Every structure is written in structure tokens, then in C-alpha cells.
Amino acid sequence: MTTITQDIADARHIKRDDYVSCTVAFIDCKKPGSDTKENYSIIGPGVTSSDDQVINLPEAHGFNIGAAAMPHGITNNLHIHFTAEVFIVQAGEWTFRWGSNGENEIKGTKGDIVSVPTWIFRGFTNAGPDDGWLFTILGGDNTGGVIFHPEIIREAADYGLYISSDNRLIDTSRGDAVPPESGRIPPMPDEDVAALRDVSRDEMMSRIVAADARDFRPAFIDQALPTGGAQIAPVIGHGMTQNRNHAAPITNPHGFSAEWLRIEPGQSVGPFLLDEKMVLMMHEGQARLDYVEGDASVILNAWDTYSVPASVFRTLTATGDTPVEALVVLSGDHRKRPVFTPETLNGATDAGLGLDAGGFVAKVSLLPSYGRAG
């Protein structure tokens, strides 16, 4: 079993104050109406084109965690992603648009999650009166960068900005040489823009999990224990829930799963381990994460991001006066299997609960006491 020291535990904690913005991350960074947006790379580089981007935790996770902060009225212009892009609204009111010319729009507010299909143009605007914040999850360790709309690439050239073939921002105002056409990303041809698939409003609406539509249910084998009862609301793919009645609203492969975890004050979940690294994106509340081996502990607050290593036992406890709500992100499209300690399993058995052969919570009285191989 891996021992987690306090130094290791602290190094995996990215507090809100640790996030470092970059205002020159993309080719539209000098376009009026987009020039004050801020990009953050929290876990992995994301899709930034800037060598100035600070990456809080470069370690590969199978996905990237980032953020965008924008004042009222500021826009992130139309662009294409090659891997999954998921928005989590942390603060503000947002307009998300998609289509070859951004002709379709939906709204998002705090707690809403939007998953945008790959290979379509998308953009977003802070439509609320205050500063807004979006967390993002991007699929894969290498996202491949982005392709901006042809109009944005053409306009950027007027400001001396280009994107090299290896996704680096070229800024002639700081002395960068203009790369040859063969060494930079050109505007997408009109016929290729026209050939991009249409995504209907109904399809896009099916890829939104609104804050008031989350399906929270008891999630784990420890739910009948005195401090148990943590709940999960699935969002994307197969997560770690042990409730057989859970079903994620968004099911197409993303390369990761995402699910809301809610822990009421005084409740805990664990100790348990997972084969996968687990990232907690703290939305609301305060939690204490304790490692079983090594006695390391960290306090997680709203807006923090935390990466738990694979194959280590951990406990998560709500320590404040309000419920903890955190988005749990796990790599892979497969179902994840939390492993609880024998003490927890024995306590659950005494309370009348066990795990069936599929790994889901069931009444012990209904489970056979034997099994057959072959």
C-alpha cells in the first residue's frame, strides 16, 4: 500500500489562490470584446497556445482540467475541439453558442454542465452582470489544440497574430517571425466549414445537466453506517457509484466520467480506493480528505481542485455547516469500482447491506452465500 506523506498530499492540492491566469492563450487575445478573458490550465496544459501559460499540475491524468474567467460581455470566439469539452458553470450567467457561424444558443447558470460535441464550432459569452467563471474538462492528455473560425484567424493576422502548425501563438509585436504558410494553421476552407455536421437544439439540450435536474441518490455500501449516506448524481459515463439505479444522462464516450458527489455536514465516505486517479472539483462547501496510510490530511474549500492518486485509501468528510458538492472526474469510459475496507464492509453487513456480484448495493438477505466458478 502506498504511503502518502503530507508533502505529497499538499502538492496535489490546487487551491483557488493557486490558479494562474493567462490573457494571451489564444489567437483572439487582441480582438476587442475578447481581450480581457483569462485562461487557466489547472491539471494538464489543456488547449493553450501560449508558452506563458502556467500549468498547476502537469501530471498526466487521461484528461485536462482548466478554467475560463471573463468579465461581463466578454466572448470566447468560435473554435473546434478534437476531444471532449465539458463546461461546469461555477459562477455567472453564460450564453453558449454553436454552429458554423454560432447561430445556435443556449443559456447556462451556476451548477449547470454542458458537454459540447467534437468537431463543431463553439463559443461562449459571459452574459451575466458580474464576472463569470467556467471550469472545463477536456478529453485526453493530448487534446490536439483547437481550430479557430476562419474569420477569427483572418482578423488575428491584422493584429500580427498567427498559430503555428504545432499550436504555438506567434505574436509579431513581440518580435516573433511570421511563419511560412506551410508552418501555420490557415483559415479552414469554406467548403470544409459547410461540411461540418449540424447539431440540433434537441441534441445539444440532451447534453446539458442542469443544476436542478441532478438525480442524487445514496451511492455507496457505507450508506447505512452512522456517518454514511453520501449521494451521487451521475453526469457523464460510468463513474464510481454503487447504486444500480443510477444512470448517467450523457453516455457517449468522453475518455472520462463525471458525477456530482454530495456529502451532508457530519457525513463521510470511505475509506475506499480506486484503480484510477480521482479529481475533485470543489463546487460548494468544505471537506477534509484523509489518507489512511501516512496520516496526511488536507482541507478542501469551494473552488479548489484536488487530485487523489490511484490505489490509495482515502476518506472524505464534510467539515463545514453546509453540504459539500464536488464534481468527481475519473479517467476512462469504463465503470469504476471503489474498494472499501473490510471494516466498512463488515459494518455494512451488520446493517443488512452487501454488494452483489455486479458490485452494486443490495440487501444481504437477498444475496446467495455461495458462488460457483466456471
Asked whether residue 1 is domain-assigned, the answer is: no
Q: Does residue 198 belong to any structural domain of this protein?
A: yes
Range 196-216 average pLDDT: 97
Residues 190 and 57 in one domain: yes
pLDDT digits (tens, 9 = 90+) for 43-83: 999 999 888 899 999 999 999 999 999 999 999 999 999 99
Q: Report the pLDDT averaged over residues 306-324.
A: 97
113 and 262 belong to one structural domain = no
Per the domain annotation, does 39 fall within a domain?
Answer: yes
* Chain segment 90-116, per-residue pLDDT in tens: 999 999 999 999 999 999 999 999 999
Owning domain of residue 144: 17-209
Write out pLDDT tens, residues 341-369. 999 999 999 999 999 999 999 999 999 97
Quickly tell me which residue has 484528461 as its cell: 63
In a domain, 12, yes or no: no
pLDDT band of 294, cuts 50, 70, 90? confident
Residue 48 within a domain: yes
- Whether the per-residue pLDDT at 178 is higher than 80: the answer is yes
pLDDT score recorded for residue 1: 61
Domains of the chain: total:
2
Residues 97 and 224 in one domain: no
Q: Helix %, strand %, coil % for the chain, to 5? A: 15, 35, 50
pLDDT for 373 beyond 60: no
Q: Which of 161, 182, 209 is the last residue of a domain?
A: 209
pLDDT band at 370 (very low <50, low <70, confident <90, very high): low
Q: What pLDDT, on a 0 to 100 scale, did the predictor assign at position 127? A: 96
pLDDT digits (tens, 9 = 90+) for 245-261: 999 999 999 999 999 99
Residue where a domain terminates, one of 209, 232, 262: 209
H/E stretch holding 150 reads: helix 150-158
Asked, for residue 220, whether it belongs to a domain, the answer is: yes
Query: The CATH number of the domain where 96 resides is what?
Result: 2.60.120.10
What is the pLDDT, as a whole number, of residue 167?
87
User: Are 182 and 241 found together in one domain?
Assistant: no
List pLDDT tens digits, range 159-173. Answer: 999 998 888 899 999
User: Residues with Cβ < 8 Å from 87, sequence gap 6 or more?
Assistant: 94, 96, 108, 113, 114, 115, 116, 124, 134, 135, 136
Mean per-residue pLDDT of the chain: 95
Kindly write down the DSSP assignment for every residue of 63-130, as one continuous string.
EEEEEEEE-TT-EEEEEEESS-EEEEEEES-EEEEESTTS-EEEEE-TT-EEEEPTTS-EEEEE-SSS
Residue type, 199: V
Is pLDDT of 143 > 90?
yes
